[in-house]
Structure 1
Amino acid sequence: MIVKKISIVVTAFFSMSMFAQDVAKTEVEIKPVVKISYLDSVKNTFKRDEMATRVDSLWMNELVSLDIYDDLTKDIQTINTDVTVDEELPTELLKQRLQAMNEKSPFDIEYNQGLENIIKSFLKNRKKSFSRLMALSEYYFPIFEDAFARQNVPLEIKYLAVVESALNPKAVSKMGATGLWQFMYGTGKQYALKIDSYVDERSDPLKATAAASEYMSKMFNIFGDWELVLASYNSGPGNVTKAIRRSGGKTKYWDIRNHLPKETQGYVPAFLATMYLFEYHKEHGINPQRAVVKNFETDTVQIKNQMSFKQIADLLDMPQSQIQLLNPSYKLNVVPFYQNEAHYLRLPKDKIATFVSNEDKIYDYVAYQSQNKTMSAQLALKVTPKAKAKLDKIIEPTDTDVKWYKVQKGDNLGTIAAKYNVTIPELKKWNNLKSNAVALGRNLKLKTDYDPVTKSFKELKSTIAVEKKSEEAIASADDKDKNNVHPQEYVVAAGDNLGSIAKKFGTTIAELKELNSLTSNNIGLGKTLVVAKAVPEIIEENVTTAIASNSSIDSFKKKATSTKNLGEDYYVKKGDSLYSISKKYPGVTISDIKKWNNIKDGDIKPGMKLKING
């Protein structure tokens, strides 16, 4: 009988175990309801138009890459036309090709040893650069040709932009010349190009090209020779006039070349060499990278309220680098709104369609963000002097605000600047860089709280931010380094999607897609994603409550959920910090724990018993 009872008990025990496993299994398979952000909820209502092609992200990176500009500028300034270059190109064949170019061009293209040396130098050292430049030319050359045709300027002058800026609208010379056509400030103003704190139209491809076309036309009326027009564009008409006088009144470029400034002596030959490489690239095995989006696949829309590139990128699910490519004249990555002045945003046609179809929702979202910033600023006034003192200490631009980025293969200052929403001059300033070249494996300094719009460190305006930053500053340095220095990664688990991951880490779907170069919302199980810095759920869930009620830090903390009770002892576990422990108890601060346990600094050890007084 006893054996029978034992058997029944054992059977019941195993039955309960199996039942528990089934329940656990069922619970694991239940997918939690994913809350989406206001941004994603707005985007979910958008009408879509998918008729245009996507932009090749690798090609987009060429916008913010200045390495070609640096290399070509250095070549033109230092190249010695008298040095023979060992490169396979028979002189007689070159003469025939130059003659063919001369017959269909208003330029006086004739063979000389100096031109041959430059062409061979480009072929030997710059083949890869020209392959990339030819991809960019598919976007910019139609703009140039249209403007030149209106002013009866030779279309071949489009190659001059390659020599001037390597087709980079953000290029800035050591003397301050800016844009595709490298206008100085005074010249830009002379040709009615707008330059202010927000806008620099020297970087606007359309307006700057129109100004360059007007300049070329005026100089031709003076000199009557297109080579001399190019020389005057580089060194100024005064230097060309002096060279003509010193040569005894000769009016051909090749006759006065030795009397021109040294840089100008290599300028026109570099232009002709560039024209040759573009015309005969196939014969030399230069395979152009293809530009997916060309100029005629874009359109503009007039902006009715100020908005940032970040807001546009988030709303339209597109990388900021693409917006920068199409709108290079906006200096601060912001489309401004002035009274009585029109500002336009250029986008791919499919994005224009989405923008126009959902304009009201887009402006509502921008207004919502502006309103939240205003409310947060008002809320910051309620911060206690003690908390304010901690905050002021935190937001000083010290080493605690620095993030480090290790340069990887394929990186350049432009791509890194675009990734972290800063500018190339800022990166150079922070790292004492004299040029745009950056070595593989070098650690670059980044200001984590730097605001590129205001050119200052961001103030933490809400009580939530004050609480979070103040306590993190006192927390262990190891925890802070772990969060700030290294990009955070997340392995996709069963049931995950971009929406749930974005919510978990306090970011957006658009940012996740840009960080991981995703072209769709599909993600594979087990894939490692780079995510934004994690935001504690307790803060994220109570943002709206704190702002709406204008609660102070203390009242906000009391609303936080907790799994611990006051008045009990707590034994420190591995990985604990005073900050993480204080979050387990409602209304408890780091200062409270230190006071109750006579802790002078933040050092605690695993196994240590802490008193948590009620």
Structure 2
Amino acid sequence: MMMINMKFSHANARRLMIGLSGLVALSLAAPASAQESQTRRDASPSVDAAAEWISVAATAGFDASAEAFEAQNESGSDDYKEVQELEKLEEEAMHTVVIGHGTDFDPELLAPFHGTLSLIHADLGYLSALHRLSETAPTGSALLDRPDVQKRLADTKVLGLTQHDQAAVRAYLDFFDGRGKRTLAGWIRRMHVFAPIILETLRDKGLPEDLIYVAMIESGFSPWARSPAAAVGLWQFIRSTGRYMGLRIDAYVDERRDPVKSTIAAAEYLTYLYDKFGSWPLALAAYNGGPGLMAKSIRKYNSNDYWYICRQNGLYDETRRYVPKVIGAALVAKNADVFGLDMIKGHAPFEFDLVEVPPSTRLSLVSSAVGAELDTIKKLNPALLTGATPPGKDTYSLRIPVGTTKKFVQNFDKIRLDNGAEHITHRVRFGESVEMIGETHRVAPRVLRAANGLKKGQMPPIGQELIVPKKALGTWNPRGKSSSKKVILLPSVEYKNPKLKRYFYRVQSGDTLKAMGRGLGINPADITLWNHLDPNAALQSGLYLQIFLPEDRATDSLALTAESEVTPIVIGSAAHKKLKAKKTSSSGRGRRWHRVRSGESLWLIARRYKVTVKKLKRWNRSLRRSNTLQPGQKILVYPGR
């Protein structure tokens, strides 16, 4: 096991950037055993093919589930609420009606306070009418009256620019010194956590250090932030852009949440935008609204002057505000003493050691090895989505608390061996739920969820190795699990192809024809045809659908039921008629009415007839509303059923 032990600091940040050269490797642990090495060498090529297929299927499944999650959670994550609350204040504070002199006037963003507006009126000749806003100017407006402050702000470079007399920039100086000051102060405090990483990366790429304020405005320096538009991380990449910039985004890892890797991707993307447009205001507007929108606006208004295009209302409102918002935040932060923010104490920097761990390593084992809280390990590795490192053949570079590498080396192998002796692993197949895995090993689903950090209803990622405690094996008996083969009714038209083999797929909650088609490698239209399905209706969990795959198709990574394990019966066939006749003859057998006696409860009655209270309620509609029984009341029961 190879270890990389490096404390992060401002001086050595460049060496910590993933993908950059200069990592110092220390061989501090014993190498893999000869048996393990031989096993890897003897692995069949089909294993690699299966692993590749699992990766593709997992990514497809992740995208489908992510899209469904985003559709149901359009408000964004809790970590993004600060950004949204600031935007709400911004909308209220910046709501002005501006009346200009002359027909060529175009409304632009102005401050909501008379202090700054009076200055702008004197400079530009505008008259403003305010709505629902205070008449009192905040400190920022008063500061703008001071010549020494005006000169200092004018001399403060932001992205290499010193001309900050745009009305929109002046408005944001007021806003960040007024209604937005509390939020900005929190972001300045949090900026200390990631500033060493971001600044060193920007320097390494030859970019202005002021681009750090882009991350401030995008996410408030929260790696976990997710916007309503499904943008994620410090730099708010959407999935397509993140993958285009080389970030891994799948069911196991979302590198948009990795502060190191996402910063490198953002620096490269900003470099591309600056090379394309040649000015930072245009590049930042393109970062917010998209390079296509920016290029279209340049052509439409026949100008490459960002401020001129804004005055023509040539961009979305959010994009017109975006550049002055970044500049305004930078001016306030870089002149913190002027705005009374110089006493802010920053949070501790993002420091860590790096170690290489095997695939599918649970973070709980690492936390035990280094003597740290599990939450600490998760915060150092925000890109990990499952509480474990991703499966596969390669080791994973994991962050642990700074200065704990020695503890890790001393304890990890022993802890891993001890836990391995107490657990077995189960690799999740496509279409396999926690309940199905529990049925396979006769382990209660709640035990599996607790052991693997899964929430109730959460589907485990395809290909992930779940931990199954040995002590729990065989301790759970699923209710209603019959020893006889399950009867599956099929459409009246049989489908037979000598080159194809029939299987049955058990539908899970949230399954769609599209996701099934991706995961099983077949056309969704075929699934519809084989099973007489309505393609527009939702699939209900518990359905058993017949599918046909080539006989030579490997199915180890699919949760399929073989035809020999069930009893398929075609509707309308002789077997179906026989089944119906059997059910008809058995209906009513053992049926009887129980007359309630004084002091009896549903539980006592259920126990007497060896049934459950739930079944009693199902058989008697009147019991569904209340558990109260009256002496003499009649209850329908089916003893022993």
1:381 to 1:171, Cα distance in 2 relative to 1, 3 A:
closer
Displacement of 1:71 after TM fit?
2.2
Which residue, out of 256, 260, 269, partners 2:324? Answer: 269
1:421 to 1:277, Cα distance in 2 relative to 1, 3 A:
farther
CA contact (8 A) 1:460 1:466 kept: no
Displacement of 1:186 after TM fit?
1.7
Which residue, out of 345, 351, 358, partners 2:404? Answer: 351
Give the whole-Å Cα distance in 2 for the aligned partners of 1:246 and 1:379. 61
Find the residue that maps to 1:168 and give its secondary structure.
coil
- The number of residue pairs the alignment matches comes to 369
CA contact (8 A) 1:77 1:266 kept: no
Displacement of 1:369 after TM fit?
4.6
CA contact (8 A) 2:164 2:170 kept: no
| Corresponding residue for residue 183 of structure 1 | 237
TM-score normalised by length of structure 1: 0.51
| Corresponding residue for residue 71 of structure 1 | 85
Q: Which amino acid aligns with 2:344?
A: P
| Corresponding residue for residue 346 of structure 2 | 290
| Corresponding residue for residue 287 of structure 2 | 233
| Corresponding residue for residue 11 of structure 2 | none
Per chain length, whose mean CA-contact separation is higher, i.e. which structure has more relative contact order (CA < 8 Å, sep 6+)? 1
1:357 to 1:130, Cα distance in 2 relative to 1, 3 A:
farther
1:196 to 1:382, Cα distance in 2 relative to 1, 3 A:
closer
| The 10-residue stretch of structure 1 (136-145 or 358-367) with the greater mean CA deviation from structure 2 | 358-367
Find the residue that maps to 2:145 and give its secondary structure.
helix
Deviations 1:213-251 (A, max 9, x none): 1122222222221111111111122222222233332x2
TM-score normalised by length of structure 2: 0.49
Give the whole-Å Cα distance in 2 for the aligned partners of 1:351 and 1:459. 29
Q: Which amino acid aligns with 1:159?
A: Y
| Corresponding residue for residue 212 of structure 1 | 266
Find the residue that maps to 1:140 and give its secondary structure.
helix
CA contact (8 A) 2:365 2:416 kept: no
Displacement of 1:594 after TM fit?
6.4
Give the whole-Å Cα distance in 1 for the aligned partners of 2:242 and 2:438. 44
Q: Which amino acid aligns with 1:345?
A: L
Q: Which amino acid aligns with 2:83?
A: Y
Q: Which amino acid aligns with 1:358?
A: N
Which residue, out of 46, 59, 82, partners 2:110? Answer: 82
Moved over 6 A (4+): 376-383, 455-461, 590-596
1:377 to 1:110, Cα distance in 2 relative to 1, 3 A:
closer
Give the whole-Å Cα distance in 1 for the aligned partners of 2:317 and 2:261. 30
Matches within 5 A, 1:8-407: 65-74=79-88, 79-80=94-95, 81-85=109-113, 86-89=137-140, 90=142, 91-93=144-146, 95-102=150-157, 105-249=159-303, 251-258=304-311, 259-286=314-341, 287-292=343-348, 294-295=349-350, 297-339=351-393, 341-371=394-424
CA contact (8 A) 2:370 2:404 kept: yes
Displacement of 1:162 after TM fit?
0.7
Which 5+ residue runs of structure 1 have no aligned equivalent?
Answer: 1-48, 53-62, 396-400, 402-419, 423-446, 471-576, 580-589, 604-614
Deviations 1:567-599 (A, max 9, x none): xxxxxxxxxx999xxxxxxxxxx9998689xx9
Give the whole-Å Cα distance in 1 for the aligned partners of 2:475 and 2:80. 37
Q: Which amino acid aligns with 2:217?
A: V
CA contact (8 A) 1:332 1:452 kept: no
CA contact (8 A) 2:197 2:260 kept: yes
Give the whole-Å Cα distance in 1 for the aligned partners of 2:310 and 2:476. 65
CA contact (8 A) 1:355 1:362 kept: no
1:379 to 1:345, Cα distance in 2 relative to 1, 3 A:
closer
Give the whole-Å Cα distance in 1 for the aligned partners of 2:300 and 2:355. 53
Q: Which amino acid aligns with 1:242?
A: K
Displacement of 1:143 after TM fit?
0.9
Deviations 1:18-74 (A, max 9, x none): xxxxxxxxxxxxxxxxxxxxxxxxxxxxxxx9x99xxxxxxxxxx974432332354
Which 5+ residue runs of structure 2 have no aligned equivalent?
Answer: 9-76, 96-108, 114-136, 428-434, 480-600, 617-626, 628-641
Give the whole-Å Cα distance in 2 for the aligned partners of 1:313 and 1:377. 30
CA contact (8 A) 1:333 1:453 kept: no
CA contact (8 A) 1:323 1:347 kept: yes
1:169 to 1:378, Cα distance in 2 relative to 1, 3 A:
closer
| Corresponding residue for residue 122 of structure 2 | none
Find the residue that maps to 1:219 and give its secondary structure.
helix
Q: Which amino acid aligns with 1:160?
A: V
Give the whole-Å Cα distance in 1 for the aligned partners of 2:424 and 2:602. 35
1:208 to 1:594, Cα distance in 2 relative to 1, 3 A:
same
Q: Which amino acid aligns with 1:291?
A: H
Identity %: 24
Give the whole-Å Cα distance in 1 for the aligned partners of 2:307 and 2:153. 16
Deviations 1:270-327 (A, max 9, x none): 10121122112333333434323x23x3121111242233343344443333223211
Deviations 1:593-612 (A, max 9, x none): 8689xx999x9xxxxxxxxx
| The 10-residue stretch of structure 1 (202-211 or 75-84) with the greater mean CA deviation from structure 2 | 75-84
Q: Which amino acid aligns with 1:280?
A: N
1:459 to 1:370, Cα distance in 2 relative to 1, 3 A:
closer
CA contact (8 A) 1:305 1:363 kept: no
Q: Which amino acid aligns with 1:300?
A: L
Give the whole-Å Cα distance in 1 for the aligned partners of 2:91 and 2:608. 65
Give the whole-Å Cα distance in 1 for the aligned partners of 2:424 and 2:468. 17
